[in-house]
């Protein structure tokens, strides 16, 4: 039998924290055979990227390779050897396609540099580049070679990078979250492409991803990582169908599904352990958050044990057999209540048009074409679309950060334009926004207390002592501990920041929250927490939510009604279940087809051309660039 | 990858963080020495800096042949104690450094925040003026100003402010342009904050590190400008002790008494280096973008 292309045998990587030595990877073992795809799934902090670093021989200086062996094509892979293989026998596909390409060089210059590294004769460079770019489905490669990265879309950049990775006919490719920065439709295309080229060349691929469902559909085998441990490993389908480790189970269940019955997303207490916590974690690192731990879990290191053919689980508890079939309570969205009353917010033929200036004088750009929308109190409305579809423009129009160029916005029956000072202040309190990026949305120089009560600074009628009480109430509403009040945003985790972000908007007791992509940068388990929080706020305070996202499954979990947007236009709208269950517009169908399904046996992504019928991939590419 | 949890450890006090950078410590100590010398000049100086001892002109330093212990660094052509003049000269240097740097900071930063935040015609006109302003050679410009204003310490300070505020404007405006796009600025607008309040409470704290850094850099620049103006005789009256005046006086005897020139040069280099070190260190320590979030 041929040896696997890459084999990890009990690999440990450790770092010194003070006196103690902490293993960032603990006896990680896996192997990838020729022509196989291995998925490494896990959230941030799980050690996925560390494995990439080990393979590339580029460990940071403060880390130490502290045990085990990496074998590449049967020979022991040292750091020096690995570095000499880079680009030739081992290639990488990076996460951020736009930042991985140097903006000051053309694609040709960057690909030529790569050819030079391969040692190809100069005369063949041009024809070889064109051949490779055609292979990754880029039309008109000769023209593309002369362009700069910023002139390409994210999907095109990723295709160029895939072409470069495969150009040396490497034996192993490590793709680190290659689709995370891309839209769903592009993601499906890139995944299909990656698998197509990989099959053609028989390359072994390691796909690092946070999306268990994506991994299960693309990969042959999946390893689930948690805090440096492989907690579960096995054939992709069996890991998705029957996740046996409680962590894999919660990872799977934390992503809402797009079809069938919905279940309440399970949430885990606390956070993934960081370096400091790992010092004291000798046993199972998941134990503290595990709902089914037993007395021994924290002290005894579990070993990978087989549960089925080729399927191993590292869990000392009794939970492992039960986990796969366990379900949470069914999740049913409340029916919209007083939908007949006066709408909370009304957009009447609102549009947003920009006119080009300078050289672009005369050009007109429609960020949002005329549309109407009315939102009842307590309603949950979703807006879905890819980047550039006008979602964020809509959000800014609703909250009043932008003035529409056409039509009018009415809050509780009063037109925003021409409202008196008192009315405008009331409107601001009625409609609040939660911003997308918690790092940018929270002023790093304010404490949490000052942040959440920021709105009170301009209110003279509320004494200072009251502010502390209000801050405490807000922290309770978003489920945060009171000791966080004195902290600065940089001392909070991503999920905590997003809660502070929400708490700030709640301070003025709004009746409508506009949430613009507020879960897209978060890990799935944190995403589940934030979504459940929004539902709770809706249930208890009756706050209406406009939830903007590119993720259809998130919209389905949260929203009663959905608007599908494309190119600044609403192409389809209606009740979420009927739109997603029976999509009418081809674009909606395309979006839904791009989401990896729950059913591990379903073929995804669908072979090129079958589901796209009307909207070809070229057209989609075109509309992105 | 593991940064999220590492961040909890980052709750150190401000002073401890400042002192974590060697440049801040070294620069800070040098600035402190400079400050003490300037403040305690009457007690530190062995002689009256303006007293002439015409029997002992151009004496070499005390340690070389012919030197007197009474004049540790020798005397100049008029028989004045070089060390005392060096010590007293630091007072003018300090005064100019602090006041001129504060002035440039206020003028430059206020205009930069207004222009960067409000944009529109205000930004366009101020930026155009700055462009025009910076096209003038700074030394010639300040000399022209001195000719117009007349000599005197306060006029030197005014000249430095008028010449150098553009430096603050340029750098701070660029930072404001970034800060105003931050979502927390939008959030403040949605909460009903006035523009003035947003500028003071949201934008200003964000640009404060760069302003502090520029401020300490500007102190060094002001000292050099004052020395240059004194050197060409356009700064302070001759009865005021300043390093630039010492340079100008020492120039004639450069071959006979090089130490007369060396003393003010050492003083200027020490002071400017001190402020530059401090500013470079502060830039690293205060800039959140350069702050490492713990190890990998």
The dihedral through the CA atoms of A88, A91, A97, A101 has a sign that is negative
Across A529-612, the runs of DSSP E, i.e. the strands, are 544-549, 561-566, 569-575
Q: How far from each other are the two terminal CA atoms of chain A, in whole angstroms? A: 47
Find how far residue A579's CA is from the centre of its chain. Answer: 23
SS3 A70: strand
**Element of type H or E holding A172:** strand A172-176
Chain-chain contact of A45 with B201 (C-beta, under 8 angstroms)? no
Statement: residue A553 has pLDDT above 70: yes
Chain-chain contact of B4 with A45 (C-beta, under 8 angstroms)? yes
Q: Mind listing the pLDDT tens digit for each residue in A360-371? A: 777 888 899 999
CB A142 within 8 A of CB A111: no
CA–CA separation, A183 and A391 (whole Å): 14
Statement: residue A622 has pLDDT above 50: no
Q: Mind listing the pLDDT tens digit for each residue in A305-339? A: 888 888 888 887 655 555 555 677 888 887 766 55
Chain-chain contact of B1 with A428 (C-beta, under 8 angstroms)? no
Per-residue confidence (pLDDT) for residue B289, from 0 to 100: 53
Q: Mind listing the pLDDT tens digit for each residue in B154-179? A: 888 999 999 899 999 999 999 999 98
Statement: residue A570 has pLDDT above 90: yes
Torsion of CA A155, A158, A164, A170, to 10 degrees: -120
Find chain A residues with C-beta within 8 A of B192's C-beta. Answer: 425, 428, 455, 458
Per-residue confidence (pLDDT) for residue A395, from 0 to 100: 92
Find chain A residues with C-beta within 8 A of B205's C-beta. Answer: 443, 445
Which of A445, A460, A492 best probes binding to B when mutated, by most B CB atoms within 10 angstroms? Answer: A445
Mean pLDDT of chain A: 85
Q: Say which range, A279-283, B28-32, B260-264, has the weakest mean pLDDT.
A: A279-283
Per-residue confidence (pLDDT) for residue B11, from 0 to 100: 41
**Nearest CA distance, A356 vs chain B (angstrom):** 17
Chain-chain contact of A277 with B4 (C-beta, under 8 angstroms)? no
pLDDT greater at residue A270 or residue B96:
B96
Nearest CA in chain B to A502: B187
The percent of residues above 90 in pLDDT, for chain A, comes to 26
pLDDT class of B4 with cuts at 50, 70, 90? very low
**Nearest CA distance, A343 vs chain B (angstrom):** 21
Q: Mind listing the pLDDT tens digit for each residue in A247-297? A: 888 888 888 888 878 888 888 777 778 777 787 788 888 888 887 777 778
pLDDT class of B288 with cuts at 50, 70, 90? low
Chain-chain contact of B191 with A458 (C-beta, under 8 angstroms)? yes
Q: What mean pLDDT comes out for the span A229-247?
A: 88
Number of H helices, E strands in chain A: 24, 22
CA–CA separation, A455 and A429 (whole Å): 9
Q: Mind listing the pLDDT tens digit for each residue in A478-515? A: 888 888 888 888 888 888 888 899 999 998 889 999 99
pLDDT class of B287 with cuts at 50, 70, 90? low
Phi, psi of A125 (to 5 degrees): -55, -55
SS3 B114: helix
Per-residue confidence (pLDDT) for residue B248, from 0 to 100: 85
Q: What mean pLDDT comes out for the span A130-155?
A: 88
Q: What mean pLDDT comes out for the span A135-156?
A: 87
Length of chain A: 625
Q: Mind listing the pLDDT tens digit for each residue in B59-89? A: 888 888 888 888 888 888 888 899 999 999 9
Per-residue confidence (pLDDT) for residue B280, from 0 to 100: 86
Statement: residue A206 has pLDDT above 90: yes
Per-residue confidence (pLDDT) for residue B232, from 0 to 100: 82
Find chain B residues with C-beta within 8 A of A15's C-beta. Answer: 295-296
B237: CB partners within 8 A, 6+ apart: B151, B152
CB burial of residue A51 (10 Å; 0-12, 13-18, 19+): buried
Q: What mean pLDDT comes out for the span A518-529?
A: 83
Who among B2, B182, B193 is closest to A275 (CB)?
Answer: B2
Per-residue confidence (pLDDT) for residue A347, from 0 to 100: 93
DSSP string for residues in A450-512: HHHTGGGGG-TTS-HHHHHHHHHHHHHHTT--GGGGG--GGGS-HHHHHHHHHHHHHTT--SE
Q: ipTM value of the model? A: 0.75
Chain-chain contact of B184 with A443 (C-beta, under 8 angstroms)? yes
Q: What order of strands is seen across the sheet that includes strand A75-76?
A: A20-32, A6-17, A63-72, A75-76
**Nearest CA distance, A149 vs chain B (angstrom):** 23
């Amino acid at each position: 039998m041929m040896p696997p292309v890459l084999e990890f045998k009990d690999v440990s990587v450790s770092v010194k924290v003070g006196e103690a030595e902490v293993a960032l990877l603990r006896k990680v073992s896996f192997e990838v055979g020729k022509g196989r795809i291995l998925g490494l799934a896990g959230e941030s902090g799980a050690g996925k990227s560390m494995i990439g670093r080990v393979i590339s021989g580029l460990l940071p200086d403060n880390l130490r390779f502290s045990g085990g062996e990496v074998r590449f094509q049967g020979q022991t892979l040292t750091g020096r050897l690995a570095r000499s293989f880079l680009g030739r026998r081992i290639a990488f596909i990076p996460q951020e396609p736009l930042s991985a390409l140097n903006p000051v060089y053309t694609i040709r210059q960057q690909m030529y540099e790569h050819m030079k590294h391969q040692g190809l004769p100069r005369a063949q460079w041009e024809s070889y580049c064109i051949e490779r770019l055609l292979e990754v489905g880029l039309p008109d490669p000769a023209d593309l070679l002369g362009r700069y990265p910023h002139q390409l879309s994210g999907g095109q950049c990723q295709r160029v990078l895939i072409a470069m990775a495969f150009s040396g006919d490497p034996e192993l490719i490590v793709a680190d979250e290659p689709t995370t920065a891309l839209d769903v439709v592009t993601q499906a295309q890139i995944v299909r492409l990656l698998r197509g080229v990989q099959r053609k060349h028989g390359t072994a691929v390691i796909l690092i991803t946070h999306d268990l469902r994506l991994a299960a559909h693309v990969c042959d085998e999946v390893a689930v990582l948690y805090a440096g441990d492989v907690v579960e490993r096995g054939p992709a389908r069996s890991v998705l169908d029957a996740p046996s480790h409680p962590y894999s189970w919660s990872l799977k269940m934390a992503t809402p599904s797009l079809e069938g019955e919905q279940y309440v997303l399970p949430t885990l207490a606390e956070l993934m352990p960081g370096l400091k916590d790992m010092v004291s974690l000798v046993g199972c690192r998941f134990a503290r958050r595990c709902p089914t731990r037993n007395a021994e879990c924290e002290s005894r290191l579990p070993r990978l044990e087989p549960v089925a053919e080729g399927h191993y689980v590292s869990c000392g508890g009794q939970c492992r057999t039960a986990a796969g079939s366990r379900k949470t309570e069914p999740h049913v969205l409340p029916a919209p209540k007083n939908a007949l009353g006066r709408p909370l917010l009304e957009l009447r033929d609102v549009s947003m048009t920009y006119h080009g200036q300078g050289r672009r004088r005369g050009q007109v750009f429609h960020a949002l074409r005329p549309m109407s929308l009315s939102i009842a109190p307590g309603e949950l409305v979703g807006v879905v679309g890819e980047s550039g579809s006008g979602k964020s423009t809509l959000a800014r129009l609703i909250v009043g950060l932008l003035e529409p160029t056409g039509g009018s916005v009415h809050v509780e029956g009063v037109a925003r334009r021409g409202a008196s000072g008192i009315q405008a202040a009331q409107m601001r309190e009625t409609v609040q926004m939660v911003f997308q990026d918690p790092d940018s949305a929270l002023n790093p120089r304010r404490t949490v207390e000052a942040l959440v009560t920021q709105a009170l600074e301009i209110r003279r009628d509320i004494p200072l002592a009251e502010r502390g009480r209000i801050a405490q109430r807000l922290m309770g509403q978003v489920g945060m501990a009171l000791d966080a009040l004195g902290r600065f945003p940089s001392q909070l985790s991503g999920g905590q920041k997003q809660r502070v972000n929400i708490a700030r908007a709640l301070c003025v007791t709004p009746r409508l929250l506009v949430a613009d992509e507020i879960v897209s940068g978060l890990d799935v388990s944190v995403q589940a927490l934030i979504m459940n929080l929004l539902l709770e706020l809706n249930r208890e305070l009756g706050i209406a939510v406009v939830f903007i996202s590119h993720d259809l499954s998130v919209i389905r979990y949260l929203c009663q009604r959905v608007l599908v947007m494309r190119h600044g236009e609403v192409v389809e709208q209606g009740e979420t279940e009927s739109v997603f269950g029976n999509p009418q517009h081809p674009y909606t169908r395309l979006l839904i087809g791009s989401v990896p399904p729950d059913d591990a046996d379903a073929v995804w992504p669908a072979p090129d051309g079958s589901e796209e019928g009307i909207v070809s991939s070229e057209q989609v590419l075109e509309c992105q660039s | 990858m593991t940064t999220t949890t590492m961040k909890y450890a980052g709750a150190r006090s401000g002073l401890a963080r400042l002192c974590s950078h060697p440049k801040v410590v070294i620069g800070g100590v040098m600035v402190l020495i400079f400050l003490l010398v300037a403040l305690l000049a009457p007690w530190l100086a062995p002689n009256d800096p303006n007293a002439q001892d015409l029997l002992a002109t151009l004496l070499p330093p005390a340690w070389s042949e012919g030197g007197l212990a009474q004049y540790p660094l020798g005397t100049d052509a008029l028989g004045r104690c070089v060390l005392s003049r060096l010590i007293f000269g630091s007072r003018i240097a300090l005064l100019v450094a602090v006041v001129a740097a504060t002035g440039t900071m206020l003028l430059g930063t206020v205009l930069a925040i207004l222009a960067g935040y409000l944009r529109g015609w205000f930004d366009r006109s101020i930026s155009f003026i700055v462009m025009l302003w910076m096209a003038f050679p700074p030394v010639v410009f300040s000399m022209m100003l001195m000719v117009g204003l007349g000599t005197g310490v306060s006029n030197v300070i005014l000249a430095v402010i008028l010449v150098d505020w553009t430096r603050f404007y340029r750098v701070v405006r660029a930072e404001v342009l970034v800060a105003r796009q931050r979502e927390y600025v939008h959030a403040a607008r949605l909460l009903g904050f006035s523009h003035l309040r947003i500028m003071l409470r949201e934008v200003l704290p964000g640009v404060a590190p760069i302003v502090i850094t520029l401020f300490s850099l500007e102190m060094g620049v002001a000292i050099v400008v004052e020395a240059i103006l004194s050197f060409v005789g356009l700064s302070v009256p001759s009865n005021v002790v300043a390093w630039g005046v010492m340079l100008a006086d020492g120039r004639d005897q450069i071959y006979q008494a090089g130490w007369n020139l060396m003393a003010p040069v050492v003083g200027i280099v020490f002071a400017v280096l001190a402020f530059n070190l401090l500013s470079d260190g502060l830039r690293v320590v205060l800039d959140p973008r350069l702050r490492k979030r713990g190890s990998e």
